[in-house]
Amino acid sequence: MRVLIGGGSGFVGRELIQMLRGKGHEVTIISRQPGPGRITWAALESGGLPHCEGVVNLAGENIMNPMRWWNNHYKKDLVSSRVDTTRALAHAIAASTTPPHSWVLITGVACYKPCLQTQYTEDSEWVPFDFLSQLVKEWEEAAHLPENAAKNTRQVVIRPGAVLGRDGGAMKQMLTPFRLGLGGPLGSGRQPFPWIHVSDLAGIIAQSLEPSRSPLSPHPEVFNGVAPSLKTNFEFTKELGHLLKWPTMFPVPGFFLDTVLGSERAVILTQGQRVIPKRTLESGYKFQYQDLRSALQEIVRN
């Protein structure tokens, strides 16, 4: 299979590419920078979709970039880097004379309203309630294929929680403070912490790239990209501190995170959603890292 991956040069993309190449697939990245094995977004818009069987979009300005202040300029970049790239791919797929059999978009669990009790599955109804949930709405809408194109191409949306892996994402930013003994529960620590190991997210994407065995729906299939074992931020912090053999008794106050990150962004850390991968499990996907300890052991060991 030939697979085209928007934003494939990043943290999740590197893991996915390694997995796909290991299975004998060919991969081309769409990037802002030209290079071997890449095309640019401008080339996609001018030249149309290169011949491929699967398309994935992972592109997006990093939401937790510590070097960027939370302001309108940054928020505009967060939206346009996701919505415009997704729309460009959906248009190119719809216009293709040899459309791919699968089109997979990776968004996030920010669509579900943070709550200590409510459990969310892919069947849960949701409406936007803040900046990030509105972003997810626009992002997923941009991926929709028109009816005639949806007859040829399987549409999938995967909503991951915090993606854990040694080469990027949340862990890369967290390991240094933890190793210095400065890691502690964030805010109350009671908030749910939906998480997934990067190998499992790559595995769910790879499974979603397979042609559908059932008739194609005009609507996307949604899969929650979270591990089946639910944890709170406190439990996550204790587990990581235990593995690193460092104390985690000093909580990081919510007001501090609000000030440093901006309150609309700090919610990613200080609040959380109890997300269940119901349809992901029903799809037959077998998680490699079901429990947090085994996931963290793999990351810390390396």
Q: Which residues contact ligand NAP (rule: CB under 6 A)?
A: 7, 9-13, 31-33, 58-62, 77, 81-82, 85, 106, 108, 160, 162-163, 168-170
Q: Closest approach of Cβ 123 to ligand NAP, in Å?
A: 20
Q: Closest approach of Cβ 66 to ligand NAP, in Å?
A: 12
| Single-letter amino acid, residue 50 | P
Closer by beta carbon to ligand NAP, 61 or else 181:
61
- Determine the Cα–Cα distance for residues 93 and 208; give it in Å rounded to an integer: 17
Q: Closest approach of Cβ 14 to ligand NAP, in Å?
A: 8
Q: Closest approach of Cβ 230 to ligand NAP, in Å?
A: 17
Closer by beta carbon to ligand NAP, 152 or else 207:
207
Q: Closest approach of Cβ 67 to ligand NAP, in Å?
A: 13
Closer by beta carbon to ligand NAP, 58 or else 157:
58
Closer by beta carbon to ligand NAP, 169 or else 187:
169
The contacts found for 171-178 with CB under 8 angstroms, 24 or more apart, are 171/299, 172/11, 173/64, 173/66, 174/240, 175/244, 175/300, 178/240, 178/241, 178/244, 178/246, 178/248
Q: Closest approach of Cβ 145 to ligand NAP, in Å?
A: 19
Closer by beta carbon to ligand NAP, 42 or else 260:
42
Q: Closest approach of Cβ 269 to ligand NAP, in Å?
A: 12
Smallest Cα–Cα separation from 183: which of 251, 260, 261? Answer: 251
What one-character-per-residue DSSP string does 107-152 give? --GGGSPP-SS-EE-TT------SHHHHHHHHHHHHHPPPHHHHTT
- Determine the Cα–Cα distance for residues 33 and 47; give it in Å rounded to an integer: 16
Closer by beta carbon to ligand NAP, 47 or else 211:
47
Q: Closest approach of Cβ 31 to ligand NAP, in Å?
A: 3
The token duo for 112 is 């579900």
Q: Residue 45 class from Cβ within 10 Å (0-12 exposed, 13-18 middle, 19+ buried)?
A: exposed
Residue 224 pairs in a beta bridge with: 159
Helix (H) / strand (E) element for 174: namely helix 169-179
Closer by beta carbon to ligand NAP, 40 or else 152:
40
What one-character-per-residue DSSP string does 16-77 give? HHHHHHHTT-EEEEEESS--TTEEEHHHHHHH-PPS-SEEEE-----TT-TTS--SHHHHHH
- Determine the Cα–Cα distance for residues 290 and 229; give it in Å rounded to an integer: 6
Closer by beta carbon to ligand NAP, 145 or else 196:
196
